[in-house]
Structure 1
Amino acid sequence: MSTVTLPAGTAATLPTVVARTHGPARKASDVLVLTRRNLVHISREPMQLSDVTIQPVLFTLMFIFVFGAGVVLPGGAGYKDFAIPGMLVLNQIMVTVGTAVGLSTDVNTGVINRFRTLPMWRPAVLVARSITDLLTAVLGAGIVAATGFAIGWSPHNGVGNAIAAFVLVLLLAYSLSWGCACLGLVSKGVETAQALGLLVLFPVVFVSNSLVPTQRMTPWLREVTTWNPISAATAAARELLGNPNPSASIDAWPMQHPVYTTLIWSIGLLIVFAPLATVLYRRRAGG
């Protein structure tokens, strides 16, 4: 067992000093332990996964068979092939609300106060939560794809491009999950965290090209959807999967270069929200 010696006169607590001495291996170990904790909680309450197992199936079938009949695509393309990439993006983005709920639950039930007494790397709580939610998002993406295959959808650009499309969508969802982490950390309760997450994400997801083509929208609304990161990710997924992509006819940089646009959005969101979430967590955790 290693021993940590506190300099004379220091006001630091033992957990803080030990956390500062953590190397990369110890930090990774802390993250793995907390990720396992989150997964154990899910295994004990499987209905937590309803948003990545049941919801994707319901949303996919509902939008394609109920609303799809009323959507006319340019060139007469089939709505099913158009909608599946949009459903992939929609479901993965909506899942990120779980990050806000999970963190808010830990903060408001006193679990974070217990973590403060342990010699662990403080940001491990945030990283573990983001990894857990990324794993659930992977499951959700698989459910969307399986549902699509079951009703006759298929990618047309090869396995490599299909994998790239899924990775790109998951990257954007992971980046947005850090924004939801911020919402969870500033919320006074779990219900507030969930409400804030949905209030923010619903307009972003639905004011996009995920479910309908945007060419017939009013000019100002079309401009908003064009620069929406959800629209970029959806257009990129359609392009990589070889599915109908009416947005390619829009003469705007995000729609002409959707893959690069999605990467830029993802990296930018991570740069902004990951440090902000760390600061907010330290304030809620008491330093």
Structure 2
Amino acid sequence: MSALAATASDSWTITKRNLIKVKRVPDLIVFATLSPIMFVLLFRYVFGGAINVPGGLPYAEFLLPGIFAQTVVFGATVTGASIAEDLQKGLIDRFRSLPMSRSAVLIGRTVADLGLNAISIAVMALTGLVVGWRVRSSVGEAIAGFLLLLLFAFAVSWVMALVGLLVRTPEVVNNASFIVIFPATFVAITFVPLEAFPSVLRPIAEWNPVSAVVQASRELFGNTLPGFPQTDAGSLENPVVYTLIWMVALLVVFVPLAVRQYLRTSTR
């Protein structure tokens, strides 16, 4: 068996192990789905009436792509916390004793979390349809929108994998991730239009990769209007391309860093 085939086989084994764990601990799925449902209902019915979207776009259609993006980014933090937990419990040492690819542990973890994010998006999409969200584009574009969200989450998962290997305690991973990701998802066009930001924060919101993911999703789902948002920022004029650039950059930088850190950690 070639090295690539062996890595793929080992990665699939670890992926199945992580997914079986979710099956045995249903709380993970429950809380992963309740949180996005809560955000959808909260912003749709509590804040939706106070937020004006230029052009008369229904707020539900403006909101859902933003909720999708926020949820998958937060969902990627599970990768770091899970790896830190495995380190804490000594599971990584057991994997090290097995004749398996070293990168398989990280690949299996990130792919399994990709599956959890897919479940969360499916639940949110159904909730969105109930509260008034509609897809105005073609089936192919809608599928591309969902794939773009999941692939961006996959790239962020590798960042969180490195964090989990460096920090090594789930609680610190969660706290550190919250400090960075919470402002990153709110200083973006996730819940409010770009025009609502003060001049100091507007450039940050324009070039925030989360804004690009949100805008790309809105365009692919048909949840936007011509000339909206009003900006000259290339990140929002070509959001799909900008998002793909970010995804590639994150994977190119953080996959080798995470694998190298895993090798260092597992040999301690």
Do the aligned residues in 1 keep the contact of 2:62 with 2:223 (CA within 8 Å)? Answer: yes
Measure, in 2, the Cα distance between the counterparts of 1:253 and 1:223: 11
Which residue among 78, 82, 95 is the counterpart of 2:75? 95
Q: Deviations over 1:141-184 (max 9, x none)?
A: 11111111112211101111101111111111110111111111
Report 1:132-211 matches (<5 A): 132-211=112-191
Measure, in 2, the Cα distance between the counterparts of 1:76 and 1:119: 59
Matched residue, 2:259: 278
Give SS of 2:177's match: helix
Measure, in 2, the Cα distance between the counterparts of 1:207 and 1:238: 17
- Of 239-248 and 251-260, the range deviating more from structure 2: 239-248
Structure 1 unmatched runs, 5+: 1-20
Give SS of 2:195's match: coil
Structure 1 vs Structure 2 CA RMSD: 1.4
Matched residue, 2:247: 266
Which residue among 252, 260, 268 is the counterpart of 2:233? 252
Do the aligned residues in 2 keep the contact of 1:22 with 1:121 (CA within 8 Å)? Answer: no
Q: Deviations over 1:9-49 (max 9, x none)?
A: xxxxxxxxxxxx85222211111111111111111111112
Measure, in 1, the Cα distance between the counterparts of 2:31 and 2:260: 29
Number of corresponding residues: 267
Give SS of 1:219's match: coil
Give SS of 2:28's match: helix
Measure, in 2, the Cα distance between the counterparts of 1:241 and 1:61: 20
**TM-score, normalised via structure 2 length:** 0.96
Instruction: Report the AA paired with residue 203 of structure 1.
Output: P
Measure, in 1, the Cα distance between the counterparts of 2:27 and 2:111: 19
**TM-score, normalised via structure 1 length:** 0.90
Moved over 6 A (4+): none
Structure 2 unmatched runs, 5+: none
Question: Shift of the alpha carbon at 1:247?
Answer: 4.7
Do the aligned residues in 1 keep the contact of 2:135 with 2:223 (CA within 8 Å)? Answer: yes
